[in-house]
């Protein structure tokens, strides 16, 4: 088959996320391009978890709601997902907890059940290896050769590898072949999660220190960077809370180390005062903000795009910032690098705005699809004397034409580096002088304009599908994965601003020119991107909003878009 989807479901504690990752590795080895979607409640045990792995010969960026293969570790998986089954589905199940009578009628001709508990008991294996046995059965059911599964387990199951191989082999031998999959060829490519791509982009941008307090859907970045710390000589710290994390990052920036923090809405709310301090003290910082449904705790493990306006306006006072919202792993990698460069060139906060769908799901990473963005250089102090007194040679907040002052760091000969959260003069000394206050505010405004001019020369707005189509969908962030595919199927134009602030007015005017109908697709209840566009004079004729915490599948979203644009 050119394209098919696999769903595996069970309860929390069954290792469903790991099993979904193993399925992705298996299909990747066969040469398919992949997208892995996971769904899990905020429970350690119980509840219902599932993962959908979609495989295709070409590029994809979203899941489909209907599946060709259903792997069920319990009855709840069947009851919950029977509606997803396509015609002639393959069903792989634990026949000691599920009977043939429990299966939907359409699943009977192509079913294969294995005795999972018996296999584990005979091999003296722990219950968490249930998914290993069922993966063995899955491979046999769709004719994946044993040696492919064996190789994947050896590479991706470093703990109890031999026992995992025994259990998988028992599952493989107990199943029967039901489907013959194609071998697309072309070889595997990396399968990368959004936070992994973001972390690698930050490292490429010179990241030296990361501070974060665990908060989904940003926790994965803390874990990923901690694993990479020895390889890249990173300082990765989990302090006592979000306020400590952001202030720690500002301290690293003051000392000359490129730093970032990661959080979600509630944690970002605690960081806002320090964000304003970064604006006043002109300290570079990158904040990776992963969105989830709110307000307050909301749905901790689900997805949303409700924090756009918050990111645009967070903080008191008026100071420059940038907000970028990548939509896939290649964009996350490229724009996270640029975010770091941008923060350090303009000595301002830069927010990388993602969501749970982008952060925690995974897809094939194709190097040729990485956006081509330039590297930006920070303005370092050249050591030249700027005053008759050697003690006052360096002005940390030197007023310049573009608003950007040369950087020096503590320990630099001839530089006294004074950073201040109060209104200050060029040296950093506190002042309440009205003329100096105006001069510094004007300095920040010039810096913001310089940043906007630089970004205006970059590909801040993407256009997919037919660039001349009169029917246009505008979106931001993770929905672009599904819409990019839909655009090719339905003859639509899809416009995606990656940079949301400074507002890319000229680029959007070019991208939307000739559109008779414009519909905004977002995962929030109020149409925040649509509102931003309208405030800047752009016509938006309708909104298609989802705010139940779940992302759109390609089929459902295509139907909704075509109805909205009919």
DSSP string, 219-251: HHHHHHHHHHHHHHT-EEE--SSHHHHHHHHHH
Structure tokens at 342: 């941008």
pLDDT-derived band at 389, boundaries 50, 70, 90: low
Torsion of CA 324, 327, 329, 330, to 10 degrees: -70
How many Å from the N-terminal Cα to the C-terminal Cα in the chain? 32
Helix or strand (DSSP H, E) at 560: helix 554-564
Bridge-partner residues for 209, per DSSP? 235, 259
Phi/psi of residue 329, nearest 5 degrees: -70, -35
Taking the C-alpha atoms of residue 374 and residue 363, their distance in angstroms, rounded to an integer, is: 25
Indicate the DSSP class of residue 135. H
> What are the beta bridge partners of residue 472?
493, 518
- Which of 156, 166, 459 is CA-nearest to residue 334? 459
**pLDDT at residue 107, as a whole number:** 76
> Among residues 190, 497, 194, 521, which one has the least CA distance to residue 356?
194
Residues near 33 by Cβ (< 8 Å), separated by ≥ 6? 55, 56, 57, 58, 59, 60, 189, 363, 364, 366
Q: Is the pLDDT of residue 295 over 90?
A: yes
**Contacts (Cβ under 8 Å, ≥6 apart) of 286:** 202, 205, 259, 260, 261, 336, 339, 340, 343, 349, 350, 351, 352
DSSP 66-112: SEEEEEESSHHHHHHHGGGEEEEEEEEEETTTS-GGGS-GGGGGGEE
Question: What's the rounded Cα separation, in Å, for the pair 203 and 434?
Answer: 41
Residue 191's pLDDT band, with cuts at 50, 70 and 90, is very high
Question: Buried b vs exposed e over 43-59: b needs ≥16 C-beta within 10 Å?
Answer: eeeeebbbbbbbbbeeb
Residue 180 pLDDT grade (very low, low, confident, very high; cuts 50, 70, 90): confident
Domains of the chain, start order: 3-174 (3.40.920.10), 191-369 (3.40.50.970), 390-456 (no CATH), 461-564 (3.40.50.920)
- For residue 414, what pLDDT is reported? 83
Q: For 506-526, how does the pLDDT look when each residue is reduced to its tens digit (9 = 90+)?
A: 999 999 999 999 999 999 999
User: Given this model, what pLDDT does residue 385 score?
Assistant: 59
Q: Which residue has the tokens 């039901």?
A: 178
349, 279 contact by CB (below 8 A): yes
What confidence tier does 407 reach under pLDDT thresholds 50, 70, 90? very high
* 65-69 contact pairs (CB < 8 A, 24+): 65/553, 65/554, 65/555, 65/556, 66/5, 66/555, 67/4, 67/5, 67/6, 67/7, 68/1, 68/4, 68/5, 68/6, 68/179, 69/4, 69/5, 69/6, 69/7, 69/138, 69/141, 69/142, 69/179
pLDDT exceeds 60 at position 286: yes
Q: How far apart are CA 465 and CA 362, in angstroms?
A: 23
Q: What is the pLDDT of residue 386?
A: 52
pLDDT beyond 60 at 388: no
Condensed to tens digits (0 to 9), the pLDDT of residues 451-504 reads 999 999 999 999 999 999 999 999 999 999 999 999 999 999 999 999 999 999
Which range is least confidently modeled, 164-168, 410-414, 490-494, 549-553? 410-414
pLDDT single digits (tens) 346-373: 999 999 999 999 999 999 999 999 999 9
Q: Which of 9-23, 70-84, 236-250 has the highest average model confidence (pLDDT)?
A: 236-250
Q: Among 192, 132, 131, which residue's Cα sits nearest to residue 167? A: 132
Output the six-digit token pair for 356.
Answer: 């749970």
Look at strands 493-497 and 499-501 and give their pairing: unpaired
Category of 511 on φ-ψ map: left (φ > 0), alpha (ψ -120 to 50) or beta: alpha
pLDDT in tens, 40-99: 888 777 789 999 999 999 999 999 999 999 999 999 999 999 999 987 889 999 999 998
What length is written for the chain? 566
Q: Which residues pair with 332 in a beta bridge?
A: none
Looking at residue 260, its pLDDT comes to: 98
- Tokens 């001839």, residue located: 414
Q: Is the pLDDT of residue 390 over 80?
A: no
> What contacts 165, CB < 8 A, 6 or more positions away?
150, 153, 154
358 half-sphere exposure, CB direction, 13 A CA radius: 32
Least confident stretch, 128-137, 180-189, 362-371, 490-499: 180-189
- Cis preceding-peptide flag for 429 (omega within 30 of 0): no
Evaluate whether 270 touches 333 at the Cβ level (below 8 Å).
Answer: no
Name the pairing type of β-strands 3-12 and 46-56: antiparallel
Predicted confidence (pLDDT) per residue in 20-52, tens digit? 999 999 999 999 999 999 998 887 777 899 999
Mean of pLDDT over the chain: 94
Q: For residue 296, with 0-12 CB atoms within 10 Å meaning exposed, 13-18 middle and 19 or more buried, which class applies? A: exposed
pLDDT of the residue at 432? 96
pLDDT at 391: 58
The structure tokens listed for 527 are 């149409």
Sheet of 111-114, strand order: 111-114, 85-94, 67-72, 3-12, 46-56, 33-39, 362-364, 191-193
């Amino acid at each position: 088959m050119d394209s098919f989807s696999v769903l595996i479901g069970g309860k929390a504690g069954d290792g469903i996320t790991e099993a979904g990752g193993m399925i992705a590795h298996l299909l990747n080895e066969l040469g398919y391009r992949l997208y892995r979607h996971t769904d899990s409640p905020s429970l350690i045990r119980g509840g219902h978890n599932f993962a959908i792995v979609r495989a295709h010969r070409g590029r994809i960026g979203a899941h489909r709601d209907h599946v060709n293969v259903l792997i069920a570790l319990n009855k709840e998986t069947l009851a919950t997902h029977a509606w997803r089954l396509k015609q002639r589905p393959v069903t792989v199940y634990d026949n000691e907890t599920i009977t043939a009578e429990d299966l939907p009628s359409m699943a009977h001709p192509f079913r294969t059940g294995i005795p999972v508990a018996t296999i584990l008991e005979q091999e003296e294996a722990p219950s968490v290896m249930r998914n290993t046995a069922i993966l063995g059965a899955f491979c046999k059911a769709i004719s994946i050769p044993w040696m492919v599964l064996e190789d994947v387990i050896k590479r991706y199951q470093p703990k109890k590898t031999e026992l995992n191989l025994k259990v998988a082999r028992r599952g493989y031998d107990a199943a029967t072949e039901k489907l013959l999959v194609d071998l697309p060829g072309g070889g595997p490519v990396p399968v990368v999660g959004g936070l992994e791509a973001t972390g690698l982009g930050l490292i490429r941008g010179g990241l030296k220190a990361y501070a974060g307090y665990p908060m989904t859907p940003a926790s994965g970045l803390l874990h990923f960077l901690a694993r990479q710390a020895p390889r890249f000589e990173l300082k990765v710290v989990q302090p006592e809370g979000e306020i400590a994390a952001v202030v720690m990052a500002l301290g690293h920036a003051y000392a000359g180390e490129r730093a970032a923090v990661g959080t979600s809405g509630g944690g970002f709310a605690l960081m806002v005062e320090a964000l304003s301090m970064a604006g006043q003290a002109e300290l570079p910082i990158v904040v990776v903000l992963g969105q989830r449904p709110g307000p307050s705790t909301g749905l901790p493990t689900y997805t949303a795009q409700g924090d756009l306006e918050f990111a645009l306006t967070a903080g008191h006072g008026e100071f420059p910032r940038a907000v970028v919202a990548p939509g896939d792993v290649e964009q996350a990698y490229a724009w996270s690098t640029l975010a770091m460069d941008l923060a350090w060139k303009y000595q301002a906060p830069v927010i990388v705005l993602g969501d749970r769908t982008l952060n925690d799901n995974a897809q094939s990473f194709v190097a040729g699809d990485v956006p081509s963005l330039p590297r930006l250089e920070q303005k370092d102090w050249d050591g030249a004397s700027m005053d008759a007194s050697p003690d006052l040679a360096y002005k940390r907040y030197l007023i310049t034409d573009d608003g950007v002052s040369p950087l020096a760091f503590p320990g630099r000969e001839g530089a006294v580096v004074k950073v201040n959260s109060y209104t200050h003069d060029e040296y950093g000394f506190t002042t309440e002088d009205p003329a100096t206050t105006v001069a510094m505010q004007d300095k920040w405004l010039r810096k913001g304009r310089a940043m906007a001019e630089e970004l205006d020369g970059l590909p801040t707005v993407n256009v997919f599908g037919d660039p001349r189509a009169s029917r246009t969908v505008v979106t931001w962030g993770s929905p672009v994965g599904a819409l990019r595919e839909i655009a090719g199927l339905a003859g639509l134009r899809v416009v995606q601003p990656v940079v949301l602030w400074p507002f890319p007015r000229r680029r959007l005017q070019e991208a939307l020119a000739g559109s008779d109908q414009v519909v905004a697709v977002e995962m929030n209840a109020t149409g925040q991107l649509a509102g931003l566009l309208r405030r800047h004079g752009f016509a938006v004729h309708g909104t298609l909003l989802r705010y139940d915490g779940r992302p759109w599948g390609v089929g459902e979203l295509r139907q909704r878009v075509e109805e909205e644009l009919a």
